[in-house]
Amino acid sequence: MNPLLALRPWEAPEVTSWGRIPMNAVDRRTGALSLDGDWRFQLLPTPDAPVSDVWSSSYVPGAWTLQDTDDLPRYTNVRMPFPEFPPASPSENPTGVYEREVDVPAEWAGRRIVLQVGAAESVLLVQVDGRPVGISKDSHLAAEFDLTDLVRPGSPATVRLTVVKWSDASHLEDQDQWWHGGITRSVLLYATDPLCLADVTVRARADGGLRVDCQVRDAGGALPDGWYVTGELDGECLAQDAEFDRANAEDERVSDFLGEARMRAVVPGVRTWTAETPELYGLTVRLHRADGTVADTSRHRIGFRDVEIVGRDLLVNGERIYIRGVNRHDFHPLTGRTVSYDDMRADLVLLKRFGFNAIRTAHYPNDPALYDLADELGFYVVDEADIESHDHAHEIADDPRCLNAFVDRVSRMVLRDKNHPSVIIWSLGNESDYGANHDAAAGWVRRHDPTRPIQYEGAAKLDWAATDDASDIACPMYAPIEDCVAHALSGKQTRPLIQCEYSHAMGNSNGTLADHWAAIESTPGLQGGFIWEYWDHGILQRVTDGRPAGRSGAGLYDNGVAAPGHRWAYGGDFGEKIHDGAFIADGIVFPDGTPKPVLYEHREIAAPVRLTCFRHEGLVVENHQCFRGLDWLSARWELALSDGRTLTAEAELPDLIPGETAAVPLPFELPDNGGEAWVTLRVTTKDDEPWGPRGTEVCAPQLRLRAAPAPRNTTGTGPSVEVDAEGLLVHPLLTVAPTLSLWRAPTDNDEIGGMALRWRAWGLDALVRKVVSVREDSGRVTVHAEYAGTVGVVRHVQVFTPVEGGIRVEESAELPEDFADVARVGTVFETVPGLDLLEWFGQGPWESYPDRSSGAPVGHHSVPVDDLFTPYLRPQESGGRHGVRHFTLSAPDATGLAVRLDEPRQVSVTRYRAEDLTAAAHHDELVPRPGCVVHIDAAHRGLGTASCGPDTSAPYLIPPGVHRWNWTLRAL
């Protein structure tokens, strides 16, 4: 029996570790022996169950819940997946036993040998050759154990890692996320000299000041005489102009076994680090024996920068910045929380291309490689401790049994990540109420690292203007922007306001994002926030047996869509009785990393170059960055005209410092035809950037130069109007006649926010149509109809008039007061099969809606019909295009139909009726219709973010009363 089991650490909150080496920031990756790969594996029902002689295998790193075991993933948001109260855990407690032989290199004789387990959920017990080594909790930080006295270099050793899934620690890891079990980050074995660096702390200031503090230990006991530390800073500037002042190095013995050394330097002409200019230097720290030979080495990539709060402003290098952030989990649709370096780089590259500059590591320290990438590519990081006790937050925040766990988790995060310039703020955790345990952790951080502020939403939410809690930043969740603005204008604001979560990205969402940022950028005291969140956490699932596809599932998804026979699983799809459904699918990218349309919205909101106005001297261009000029960018002009033409010209960006504006001449002569005209500045990278090759589009700011003239109702000879006995238009290109539509397949915001429930109660999903009258007058047909819900009647009028080449349809709908705030008011019809290409003049080319349209420039767009639909994990309203002036639907032989609208309208063209989408829980249940389902909306409700946060604002709601619209249908 594992002797560590006698301690029963899964039910002992006072035990956070045993035999574990203190966390540090020394780099040990060079020369390490990777133990990743297949391990012998058994999954036991409880920690007390005996280990048998029958082994299977499991790949490390990886969660056993995704590797064909009977313990499958579970998803809960707030609720724990078991009923026991803290610190208890359930009696049915899956326990994974991992075992393998390790050949310890013979050349490691006489060296200190350390095992590093990158992450294990949730309790890790380590044995070597049957002898106990240690215990660790905290599922998202590495645990290291000294094996020197337990292994023999040149001989094999049997390493056993026992991982207990549920424990008292699970109550501190109650994140809105899948529950897994296993070893989810890499396992390493490395060796050092007995005399070694125990820790390295780097403080590099924006003025070039550098201080390096080193702690030294000797595994043999007392430190030898004569040891010393040296450092080297790479880079031509420093090599020529400065070096470490060894004469001033301090060697302060504090005990016989721990030594400290400090090195200082000033780097003249230092290149400072920011998210816009991520300048890094290579620092090498060497520990020497008395004879000068090197005993230990640690390498770091460091950045010189300052972070401070002055009044109510967060400053980097003395400049007020905007936080354009996203919350990010470690996630992959096949391997769960196990992510590769390439996966993480792809995440950050995509974020950089779409204008993000900040990451909150929700809600735990992320994989260490992420911070290296953030340093290199340029991101501000809020590093968050692995603390969320959502279901039992109030009890745990002040529970003295959890005091050590709080301080341990926060302090170990700080000790690991303190040398990363990207980390500008420490977070004490998430959704864990506020208590003495938070204050204790904050006190430790403020003493150990006074160079960074601390944030914690649970403390700051009690009073945004407080000055005596554990948060230096007011960081609310989903606060209405009106409340944020009111606070900033109240005169009571004492600290920066940066929302740790806002604009919930569940399904078709993120409405009013542009409005939110317009308020932030115009209100001193507001500095941004973090969208929730990066990923849709769908797990690729085989439909046939309902199990995860596993590591072999690569290639079974593309562009956000799972391959036939597979689907994206969410809560409840693995048989969980306690779950929170599709709330796990709330990201700005699909599970395979494909961008959602909202990313284009964000890209324009965060644009480094703006077109602010059109004046007689030309277009006014603004540099909207904080630290960088425009010399890294190229651009070209586009002029989109409503007559179908698009003109282009090269653009020369002015030399502007951050915040500066300049007028540039319009490179086009506006045609005299009086049509609508829009100018777009397509901005791209001039040279290769670490996150994108030369020519990568950065933004596309746009201005309207001329509005469309007022539409004229033309008459002429056209096809005769034919209606059937029900007063419905008969047309050879239509299989379902145009009728009134007030219903949309509810978005996640509609469902969770309660709007869909209200609409169903009104009967909007099943309106009953009754013809009141049909009248023909000189070829013009007028149809009066009533659409009855359960509480009201909508009067609908359609007037069909022959015009040259087609039919003009004039419509009105009178909504009763009972129908305040419906989903849409408009027309729906269906076409014959074969019309597979949509071309339009309006906003695009990607999906857009009334309150999420800033990222879709007006122009001429062409997209295959099958590509218009957006495959949100739970089928819902999607694929709309805002501000459409006219469109055509055509077959390959150029036949089809053309529609011209009276004014810019919301239009959607897909293969699905609203009822098809409403009835389906997953996309594998959808059957495309052969023709096109076309919606032309006089008004369409905004999207908002009501699944978690504010609904859309008043201008994007649909009031009762009379709505009018008209459109013209012609055959191509």
Q: Which residues are catalytic?
A: 431, 501
Angle between helices 436-448 and 403-417 (to 10 degrees): 30
Distance (Å, whole) CA 279 – CA 263 = 21
Distance (Å, whole) CA 500 – CA 502 = 7
Cβ atoms of 153 and 105 within 8 Å: the answer is yes
CA 529 to chain centre: 12
Angle between helices 341-353 and 368-377 (to 10 degrees): 40
Residue with tokens 């603390």: 387
Token pair for 307: 């972070």
Q: Phi, psi at residue 639, to the nearest 5°?
A: -120, 115
DSSP 127-173: EETTEEEEEEE-TTS-EEEE-TTT--TTSEEEEEEEEES-SGGGGGB
Cβ atoms of 916 and 876 within 8 Å: the answer is no
Residue 652 bridge partners (DSSP): none
Long-range contacts of 643-652 (CB under 8 A, 24+ apart): 643/671, 643/673, 643/675, 644/841, 644/860, 646/859, 646/860, 651/681
Token pair for 3: 């002797």
| 3-class secondary structure, 329 | coil
Task: List Cβ neighbours of 895 (8 Å cut-off, separation of 6 or more).
Answer: 971, 972
Task: List Cβ neighbours of 608 (8 Å cut-off, separation of 6 or more).
Answer: 355, 623, 624, 625, 628, 630, 633, 683, 698, 699
C-beta atoms surrounding 863 within 10 Å? 17
- Residue at 31: amino acid letter: G
Cβ atoms of 531 and 512 within 8 Å: the answer is no
Q: Is the peptide bond before 87 cis (omega within 30 degrees of 0)?
A: yes
Q: What is the separation, in whole angstroms, between the first and last Cα of the chain?
A: 80
Distance (Å, whole) CA 670 – CA 643 = 12
Q: What is the enclosing helix (H) or strand (E) of 326? A: strand 323-327
Closest Cα partner for 729 from 829, 796, 835?
Answer: 829
Distance (Å, whole) CA 762 – CA 303 = 60
Residue with tokens 């980097």: 316
Q: What is the 3-state secondary structure (H, E, C) of 576-614?
A: CCCCCHHHHECCCECCCCCECCHHHHHHHHCCCEEEEEE
Cβ atoms of 848 and 908 within 8 Å: the answer is no
Q: What is the total residue count of the chain? A: 972
Closest Cα partner for 294 from 201, 202, 197?
Answer: 197
- Residue at 526: amino acid letter: L
Cβ atoms of 29 and 75 within 8 Å: the answer is no
CA 634 to chain centre: 28
Cβ atoms of 143 and 408 within 8 Å: the answer is no
Distance (Å, whole) CA 529 – CA 498 = 5
Cβ atoms of 594 and 557 within 8 Å: the answer is no
Task: List Cβ neighbours of 401 (8 Å cut-off, separation of 6 or more).
Answer: 13, 14, 87
Distance (Å, whole) CA 274 – CA 276 = 5
Task: List Cβ neighbours of 840 (8 Å cut-off, separation of 6 or more).
Answer: 860, 861, 881, 884, 885, 886, 887, 888, 907
- Residue at 938: amino acid letter: A
